[in-house]
Structure 1
């Protein structure tokens, strides 16, 4: 084992790799650009990493649209090889030398299963195959795992989910920021040579400016100078009941997956809700599954945790090295308390639902009749948003919400100072009774933590697209959390008609999101009181 290898293991908190033996600890051999045949005649290129001189071994498969040459991919592969495993990293259809056309989310099931069959037929594979990966690579694993026969040996899944559609359209609104950022990445990958185009500050500014482009369905040309298929598909199929993405949703089949699964999620990751649903489905089905939820988003902090998690999990299930496995299925970080907690299930036992009612401020007791909380949303000057689950590094997570809360187009309700610490662990939602002047609008609700100095920082939020006249009972799913509100702090709820550019503006006309240009101002009235008890539903943990 090299000095560099020891330093890498130490940096990521990994147990020391075994001394050289039957594969383990040996130097890494590599076969580049293996061509894997698909049923339609396309060939997808892949690299094989394996211990030099070893016989047949289990394979860890990683399928990527970003290029098998990426440094983090190579690092991960070499870490596993030092533990006596072999790794195959495959470029997906249509990228970096693989035949065909890349169609985001559509081909991963068929191509993944064809690759799995090819791997098992190779003389250097002992028949056992596991999958690993984060984000889209993790989705590619989900696209094949429920249908693999025989089943996969193990799954390592980071900041990902079995379906991504709910992240395109949270609450029915269009997730503009994340969709355009990822579309710009796809549109600037160079599949003709090794290495893609790294984002530059100029590129990032251009993408940010393009978020204001109308219609949204053509924002790709403003961002990268040409159409990008993924953005066009997302904006063209944003309406309710559109079945375009049905075949890319593997959540209904998730519970059929028998492979032991380990997941890493983040409180500020855009796929958190879907990942927790996947965990709950596997756990309810009696599968061997664990999840770690940390104080990170879709970022480098998450990747470091993912590598350590997946290496120990794969080592255990492919090599039998089980001494590093914990017993608790759920490990989560309680934010602002600096504590890691272990639980037997999600949501964790010991929490109690507590409604936080909208009144003149916020109250735990149901209020009497009171006038509505009213504000007006202008699509030409859309209510901005800061923080939250964003793909852009350094822009997501917790942020100071003060400048937004001082705007005239929001309603802000604040509770009394807490007389003791308040811990929330679990799903969060809101039931709000709302009227809109046009029958169309996006109701955005955000829970914030206000400290003794008056600084207001976001904790969780959610949105619901409204397309109905009259009074609507809006059931809004917010992001789950584990968070401590310290004694002396206050809870605050902000209501708005949008969160731009995280969410595309609602034009108030009912016109499809991708084509809308004309707009109407929308007045919102959020009713509160005994007849219309608008409230947030908070998971209070008394542990």
Structure 2
């Protein structure tokens, strides 16, 4: 789901303007090519939506011309997808957009992630029985609609021929929580189905909640003025237990998903972790012939841009060569897998991704990363940071002596301006961690480690990881670990490359909590960083930042209790120590391609 709510997150783009959900739109004009549909389900409920007829296959008076159907299941309003309908209808395919159960005009109650698999199965089956359908259905859509595709495919409905999930939400993996830390946006998203008396969700609800000393469990009340049952249900399952497992495909279901798949995500997509988890679990379980038909595209996009291929967002702008027509690509791919066209030339090998710096699209037989790594070691020596702010070093060796870098984590600062979410125009160029934190011997609330300038170009393609040796007397704490590029041109903005959130009580397993062992040093490995592909140029530097998460994430009072129910009165401040030494080093691993001879000069 979009962290800024730009698309598929409460506020959605529909008909050229921003609207909230479906209620209160004041009516929208229906074009003549749109036909209302009612799709019956096995339990008697009905999904409602619209059909845009394929050119030459309207299903009107006379003999209809049967054609395949592109099906979208959405919680955001079926009438929002007229442009999509026109594209696919013009390409000779029917386009059907249905509101999911409990949304729009469809029957029932909206329970996120619960009914979509069975409902999607029934919708596919019903569509294949219509005289205007050729008996072939392919699935379409992004974010929550990416999830509905995987959920439907897991039920193997007859007539399903392909899925093309975009920026797909994976329940429990990247929404409504990641590494078992709840995302504050989840309450606002769940509120998209408003009661008539509700106002719009409060964007600053988290700050007000902290100021009032209320528990995170009250975020729904603070955001929309009432309890949201799904949000409360999510909080009651803080670990990846059977509840979350029941919302996603099982290994045996992945093994039986044999239709072609086109996965699309972005290097800055909030749901990249979800998209890659689906991809990796399917590839790991499916037979080789099926794996060869699972293709993936990763562009330089945020969540919204995975639908538009926008070049500018969050303070970043990418080369014109990154822009592609995503709907045209999907249409061409559908036609190919349906036997009605050639394979799109853009899809060379199984994975197609954009390399920033080289500014061109690359193709590979698998997701890049894992062939070679550049290790950078956070050390206690001082290094000049941006605008002269002191920082620690990030060297090419751990050093001969044991070192300790202290990091102060104080839940009392959770409501401060420094812990606010980055603004939408600076989501990926926010430099506050470099001005509020630092190094140079002081115990601060952010440990900033900066490398020396690189002596030559280095290509990075893959998912970074971090191995950190930590100690603390706290029973629990959270870290937000970011990898940044600091350009040689000091006037250019720094760039967040990859980021991972982490909670100490789940260091060994996301399936069960285990208090942090006081007085012991523990090696932890963080792997849930996002995929990135770029060139680090001569003179550029890389930074590793460890800090407490900002208010996009659930606050942790660090007392070791039920995090959702703790308040400021339970807060425990403390120091987390990062250990560095030759026998047990801490390090950042950057996946490099080709030569890494241009590494930092020290």
TM-score norm. by structure 1 comes to 0.84
| Counterpart for residue 352 of structure 2 | 331
| Counterpart for residue 296 of structure 1 | 301
Distance 2:526 2:562 in 1: 21
TM superposition shift of 1:58:
1.2
| Counterpart for residue 475 of structure 1 | 525
| Counterpart for residue 29 of structure 1 | 33
Distance 2:593 2:363 in 1: 13
The correspondence for 1:516, drawn from 552, 558, 566, is 566
* Matched-pair contact (CA < 8 Å) for 1:206–1:222: no
| Counterpart for residue 527 of structure 1 | 579
Answer with 531-540 or 249-258: which moved more: 249-258
Q: Output aligned runs, 1:260-279, within 5 Å.
A: 260-279=260-279
* Matched-pair contact (CA < 8 Å) for 2:357–2:534: yes
| Counterpart for residue 437 of structure 2 | 405
TM superposition shift of 1:346:
1.0
CA 1:365 to 1:386, structure 2 compared with 1: closer, same or farther past 3 Å?
A: farther
| Counterpart for residue 377 of structure 2 | 357
Q: Which runs of 5+ in 2 are unaligned?
A: 1-30, 310-324, 381-392, 506-515, 596-602
CA 1:458 to 1:30, structure 2 compared with 1: closer, same or farther past 3 Å?
A: closer
Is 1:165 aligned to 2:173, yes or no? Answer: yes
* Matched-pair contact (CA < 8 Å) for 1:160–1:271: yes
| Counterpart for residue 428 of structure 1 | 464
| Counterpart for residue 21 of structure 1 | none
* Matched-pair contact (CA < 8 Å) for 1:427–1:538: yes
- 1:154 aligns to what SS in structure 2? strand
CA 1:302 to 1:423, structure 2 compared with 1: closer, same or farther past 3 Å?
A: farther
CA 1:463 to 1:490, structure 2 compared with 1: closer, same or farther past 3 Å?
A: same
| Counterpart for residue 488 of structure 1 | 539
- 2:279 aligns to what SS in structure 1? helix
TM superposition shift of 1:116:
1.6
The correspondence for 2:499, drawn from 461, 466, 469, is 461
Q: Which runs of 5+ in 1 are unaligned?
A: 1-26
* Matched-pair contact (CA < 8 Å) for 1:431–1:474: yes
- 1:45 aligns to what SS in structure 2? strand
Distance 1:387 1:420 in 2: 34
Distance 2:326 2:151 in 1: 19
Q: Output aligned runs, 1:219-230, within 5 Å.
A: 219-230=219-230
Is 1:312 aligned to 2:325, yes or no? Answer: no
The correspondence for 1:43, drawn from 37, 40, 46, is 46
| RMSD of equivalent CA atoms | 2.7
CA 1:301 to 1:153, structure 2 compared with 1: closer, same or farther past 3 Å?
A: closer
Distance 2:208 2:190 in 1: 12
* Matched-pair contact (CA < 8 Å) for 2:470–2:577: yes
* Matched-pair contact (CA < 8 Å) for 1:59–1:128: yes
| Counterpart for residue 93 of structure 2 | 85
- 1:116 aligns to what SS in structure 2? helix
Is 1:235 aligned to 2:235, yes or no? Answer: yes
Distance 2:335 2:457 in 1: 40
How many residues align? The count is 498
Is 1:66 aligned to 2:38, yes or no? Answer: no
| Counterpart for residue 13 of structure 2 | none
Q: Output aligned runs, 1:329-408, within 5 Å.
A: 329-347=350-368, 351-360=371-380, 361-382=393-414, 384=418, 394=425, 396-401=427-432, 402-406=434-438, 408=444
| Counterpart for residue 555 of structure 2 | 505
| Counterpart for residue 6 of structure 1 | none
- 2:234 aligns to what SS in structure 1? helix
CA 1:278 to 1:121, structure 2 compared with 1: closer, same or farther past 3 Å?
A: same
Distance 2:534 2:343 in 1: 31
TM superposition shift of 1:211:
6.4
Write out per-residue CA displacement over residues 65-113 of structure 1, whole angstroms, 9 at most, x where no aligned residue: 111111xx11101111111111221111111121110000111111111
TM superposition shift of 1:406:
4.6
TM-score norm. by structure 2 comes to 0.77
| Counterpart for residue 244 of structure 2 | 245
Write out per-residue CA displacement over residues 283-307 of structure 1, whole angstroms, 9 at most, x where no aligned residue: 4543212111111111146435542
Write out per-residue CA displacement over residues 373-426 of structure 1, whole angstroms, 9 at most, x where no aligned residue: 1021111103856889xxx85453343343343592111111111101122111
TM superposition shift of 1:463:
2.5
Distance 2:182 2:468 in 1: 21
* Matched-pair contact (CA < 8 Å) for 1:220–1:228: yes
TM superposition shift of 1:532:
2.4
Write out per-residue CA displacement over residues 114-151 of structure 1, whole angstroms, 9 at most, x where no aligned residue: 21222222222221111000110111010011321436
* Matched-pair contact (CA < 8 Å) for 1:385–1:404: no
Write out per-residue CA displacement over residues 252-303 of structure 1, whole angstroms, 9 at most, x where no aligned residue: 3334311111121111112212322333444454321211111111114643
Is 1:55 aligned to 2:65, yes or no? Answer: yes
CA 1:95 to 1:256, structure 2 compared with 1: closer, same or farther past 3 Å?
A: same
* Matched-pair contact (CA < 8 Å) for 1:30–1:48: yes
CA 1:149 to 1:223, structure 2 compared with 1: closer, same or farther past 3 Å?
A: closer
* Matched-pair contact (CA < 8 Å) for 1:161–1:278: no
Write out per-residue CA displacement over residues 156-215 of structure 1, whole angstroms, 9 at most, x where no aligned residue: 211115545344332232222x3234234x24387x9xxx99x7xxx5544564564631
Distance 2:521 2:473 in 1: 10
* Matched-pair contact (CA < 8 Å) for 1:187–1:224: no
TM superposition shift of 1:429:
0.9
Following superposition, which runs of at least 4 residues in structure 1 exceed 6 angstroms of deviation?
none
TM superposition shift of 1:241:
4.9
Distance 2:420 2:327 in 1: 29
* Matched-pair contact (CA < 8 Å) for 2:125–2:157: no
